[in-house]
Structure 1
């Protein structure tokens, strides 16, 4: 780079990241060392000195604060500070002369901005820009308020958790105090017994000592006088000596007191890294219907009214539907137009995405599972296997298929071998009319349509929770998104309800008949577009509900 005091004519081949604005007016090519945001001028050292004499109150940023240079002028390059003159059509970028020289020499199409701007002020796009800016500013304002409320909520959560931790500590302290009190009580009781025993022993010792002293003194005075009396005294003294010896030996074997800590308490505490676990809880997306549209999925070959029994989305964003009454599977593009179909000559019910662009379809009338692949916008039947029970729903996780039936849920591998019956229900009706699995595989959601119940199982098939709700009459389909959003549709009241990811309680009824639902028979939530796609019973249309 040229030094701040070196000057070259404007035609010089030297390229600066920022050129002095005042020098450029005199056809000089000088590198800027300063920036004045008030004047929006880039200045070399010499021009900065002159500028400082005239504008003493202007704050000027040097090279050490270069991050503050860009973004002050709408018609200057944010990167190089020069006038924006061109547009790279290949990269869709505004460019100054330095941008073109450094980054866009090999681009095929560079347009001059004055040429592109001709008549632009009269375009609808330009006239609608203020409204678009106002709209996004309004959303930013709402988001700001939402985040501020969330920040306050986080603080409240923090304080609440601290209270819970303190309460747990207090409870632990109370438990330890009680344990200490009971242990001391036990010690006091033993000490009381032992001290009483010692007191009794001391009294006996004193009594025996006195008795022996008296006996020996009397015996000595009686000696050589009366043989019979002396003999009697001797015998009594011997008896007392024997009693005293026995007592002395017994005292030597008396028990003491000892304490042994319960090491399991310390071991447990040492193993613990904390009193509990604090986790980040993902925010729960609770949808509300914003708008709805209907898209026709009937094709010329359909002889009957459509009955969309299953929906799933491919990684490409395309949708795959099962048409129960017309015995075929249909492929929809992102615009919800039918672009391909595959005739099964059997009755398809539910379906699920497996891997890549492949799907598995539960065929109820033949008790079969069919595999289809989407290749270059076409649906192609690949293979199938037969099972020995009715199948009305299907889900896939980690290379295993979960097939719902009248009496429960079965687990198969991908080639059709039964692994186990994971869940049994003898309540009657179709126990697992629909099923879906969380992305982590820890929770399995099932609907018992006849009993209007949504159940949640763990991966071993044990029931964790159940939900019954007045608006969930005849729950005939459900879906779980990759992020854990759970939606279930009730045919009876024509609703789609959202429940929490644990399947323990209802979050909201997100769509109703007023939102364009007919007879909801299948449902899918697309996280790519935040839309619910609802297939209907005996309707040629699907309903697409945009959620806030």
Structure 2
């Protein structure tokens, strides 16, 4: 369809250009004949008249050729291989229906109680310090990712909470949040005071695979992901970024202490 349209457009452009060219040449010859008034230039007048007659004849021929209305039709020829392939299919897909019972809003004043707890040792042979877990993410497959701040690494635990993989960073990891069902983002600071990053990590076949890295201009502590955007805190500021790392806004700042809210008894909600 596109090729046919291109050919028709090209043909129209050629015809239009030829029409304009013949018109301009006739006007030039007419002006030349009118400017020859001296009898000594009768030969030039004769030559100009002959050329003018030739151009008139060319114009008349052109008009006769283009006065005929050509019937143009465009038809669609289907790809028979596609038709044969589709004829072999039992259908284009299926609609799945599922019913989920939604729990009504419970008592907002209900106290959450701990039903039980268990302790697990996630220290590995390369750890030189006591483990300090500062962030944790539970993936849909029930595997767990933890940030070990003191040992500067991120560890992947299986469903029995055994370390199956880990990644050691050059800086110090702090916070972590889930991006997709198999990807998380981790905040890092250091090893020097000017390095502040967000490292994306993907879990693939029980291994931690490093993805893209965002370079930021401030301390990176906690991190959250909501509706396509990243929310990152320093010690006193809450920042908003796009997932690609573009700065959006400084949403909140509290410089009343070294760590915002450290001594505050008021919980602040930001919408």
Identify the TM-score tier after normalising by the shorter chain: 0.5 to 0.7
Deviations 1:437-485 (A, max 9, x none): xxxxxxxxxxx2x2144623232xxxxxxxxxxxxxxxxxxxxxxxxxx
Partner residue of 2:202 out of 365, 369, 373: 373
SS at match of 1:370: strand
- The Cα shift of 1:308 comes to 0.9
Q: 2:133 matched to 1:308?
A: yes
Partner residue of 2:269 out of 437, 446, 457: 457
Please report the TM-score for the alignment, with normalisation by the length of structure 2. 0.57
Partner residue of 1:356 out of 169, 173, 181: 181
Deviations 1:131-168 (A, max 9, x none): xxxxxxxxxxxxxxxxxxxxxxxxxxxxxxxxxxxxxx
Partner residue of 1:409 out of 206, 216, 238: 238
Deviations 1:292-341 (A, max 9, x none): 22100001111221111111111111111011111110011111111111
Task: Show structure 1 runs of 5+ residues with no match.
Answer: 1-279, 432-447, 460-548
Identify the residue that residue 323 of structure 1 maps to in structure 2. 148
Identify the residue that residue 54 of structure 2 maps to in structure 1. none
Q: 2:224 matched to 1:392?
A: no
1:335 and 1:368 map into 2 onto residues whose CA distance is 31
Partner residue of 2:168 out of 338, 343, 363: 343
1:331 and 1:286 map into 2 onto residues whose CA distance is 32
| Structure that is richer in helix per residue | 1
2:133 and 2:118 map into 1 onto residues whose CA distance is 16
1:318 and 1:422 map into 2 onto residues whose CA distance is 33
Identify the residue that residue 219 of structure 1 maps to in structure 2. none
Identify the residue that residue 84 of structure 2 maps to in structure 1. none
Identify the residue that residue 76 of structure 2 maps to in structure 1. none
Deviations 1:95-151 (A, max 9, x none): xxxxxxxxxxxxxxxxxxxxxxxxxxxxxxxxxxxxxxxxxxxxxxxxxxxxxxxxx
For 1:214-363, list aligned pairs within 5 A.
Answer: 281-284=105-108, 286-363=111-188
Aligned length: 163
Q: CA RMSD in A?
A: 1.7
**Displaced runs of 4 or more, over 4 A:** none
For 1:13-28, list aligned pairs within 5 A.
Answer: none
Task: Show structure 2 runs of 5+ residues with no match.
Answer: 1-103
2:255 and 2:203 map into 1 onto residues whose CA distance is 38
- The Cα shift of 1:418 comes to 0.5
Larger Rg over CA atoms: 1
Pair 1:454–1:306, CA change in 2 (3 A): farther
Identify the residue that residue 69 of structure 2 maps to in structure 1. none
2:263 and 2:234 map into 1 onto residues whose CA distance is 15
2:175 and 2:132 map into 1 onto residues whose CA distance is 12
Deviations 1:197-229 (A, max 9, x none): xxxxxxxxxxxxxxxxxxxxxxxxxxxxxxxxx
1:398 and 1:355 map into 2 onto residues whose CA distance is 12
